Amino acid sequence: MKIVMRGEELQPVAIRVENLSKDFGSLRAVNSVSFEVVSGEVFGLLGPNGAGKTTLIKMLCTLLKPTSGKAEIAGFDIVKNPSEVRKNIGIVFQEPTLDVELTAKENLDFHGRLYGMDGKKRNERIKEVLKLVGLEDRADELVKKFSGGMQRRLEIARGFMHFPKVLFLDEPTLGLDVQTRRKIWEYIDKVRKEEDITIILTTHYIEEAENLCDRVAIIDHGNIIALDTVERLKNRVGEDSIEIVTEGDVSDFIELMKSANLRVVRTEEGLMVSAGEAERLIPQIFSLANKNGIVIKSVSLKKSSLEDVFILLTGRKIREESSSGALHVMRARRMGR
């Protein structure tokens, strides 16, 4: 197994992806992506709906065969050794897959049996994982009586029930309210600290990636367009960003700001200027606008986030989904994505 540096320590590579692609007819859902994830890391795939995140996860979990390229999980090739890959991974899918007519304990027991765990080991592990996600008092309760957040916690517990080396979380908090989402983050963080496990997480929630991930790959239209630690990615933008909405065409205004050495990008709503101590630039921006007859409707100042990195690279917000993006999603789903 390959060993790489992580900080000041040598760490084995848990996931290696090389030029991995997936085509559905004429649609390329994942386009020659490459990355490595070291053991114990929480690695995020951040991008809008239809970006290719789920397709990539399904290939790594051996549910889809890649069109080209290769990948290894825990040292096993996803095409040549799919059975070995499955033994070493846990999966929490976007869609619920629990049997709601069974209790929490029965769901976990069934999962343990599928992975060949003996009775004593299953019972011990069921108690461990239920305690880790705060459901030890609900072990004998039917899952259909659980809230959405409780069911999600149980699915996470089931995902690492069999001691996997890699846990895949595909949009683990999708559809949950903000308070429940934050509680799920706490449990995921607890899992990564108490279990010897590597986590790869897909999300389109900016705050989720910033809170949970050691490194993030920003993915759009099947391509990884940036990959680094959260802080280094945000440093691409600068400490602050300014969002500007103007009246009429902004093309001339963009050129004026660029000539004034301001870093500006066009967005769906207007413009975004990125810089350190951006509040000092606001008077300069208004002065440029007034001198050139440009009407500014609104200005907002905020600390930079991963969404600003996405805007800087694509000109769009990460949660936006154009009609073409929606078509991309629907076509992929029809083709088994």
Digitized pLDDT (tens) for each residue of the chain, 337 residues in all: 454 445 545 678 999 999 999 999 999 999 999 999 999 999 999 999 889 999 999 999 999 999 999 999 999 999 999 999 999 999 999 888 999 999 999 999 999 999 999 999 999 999 999 999 999 999 999 999 999 999 999 999 999 999 999 999 999 998 899 999 999 999 999 999 899 899 999 999 999 999 999 999 999 999 999 999 998 998 887 767 888 888 877 787 888 888 878 888 888 778 888 776 677 888 888 888 888 888 899 998 887 889 888 888 887 888 654 333 433 444 444 444 4
What residue type is 56 in one-letter code?
A: L
DSSP state of 26: T
Nearest to 170 by CA among 139, 198, 203: 203
Phi first, then psi, for residue 333 (nearest 5°) are -65, -40
- Torsion on CA atoms 328, 331, 333, 337, rounded to nearest 10: -70
* Contact criterion met (CB below 8 Å) for 257 and 250: no
List the domains of the chain with CATH numbers: 3-233 (3.40.50.300), 238-303 (3.30.70)
**pLDDT number for residue 324:** 39
Distance (Å, rounded) from C-alpha 213 to C-alpha 208?
8
**pLDDT score at 336:** 41
CB-based contacts of 21, cutoff 8 Å, min separation 6: 28, 30, 31, 32, 33, 66, 67, 68, 69, 222
The C-alpha atoms of residue 331 and residue 27 are separated, in whole angstroms, by 8
Q: Tell me the residue type at 321.
A: E
Specify the DSSP element, H or E, that contains 5: strand 3-6
- What does pTM read for this prediction? 0.80
Q: Give every CB contact of residue 179 below 8 A, 6+ residues apart in sequence.
A: none
Tokens, residue 20:
């991995």
How many angstroms separate the CA atoms of 122 and 1, rounded?
A: 29
Q: How is 212-274 classified by DSSP, letter by letter?
A: H-SEEEEEETTEEEEEEEHHHHHHTT-SEEEEEEESS--HHHHHHHHHTT--EEE-SSSEEEE
β-sheet bridge partners, residue 77: 72
- Please tell me the predicted confidence (pLDDT) of residue 70: 97
What confidence score (pLDDT) does residue 284 get?
85
CA distances from residue 99 to 36, 302, 337 in whole angstroms, order as listed = 34, 44, 23
Contact 230, 212 (CB under 8 A): no
Which pLDDT score, from 0 to 100, does residue 157 have? 95
> For strand 42-46 and strand 198-203, is the pairing parallel, antiparallel, or unpaired?
parallel
Burial 198-213 (b: 16+ CB within 10 A, else e): bbbbbbbbbebbbbbb
> ∠ CA 274-276-281 to the nearest 5 degrees?
70
Which residues is 216 bridged to in the sheet?
Answer: 44, 228
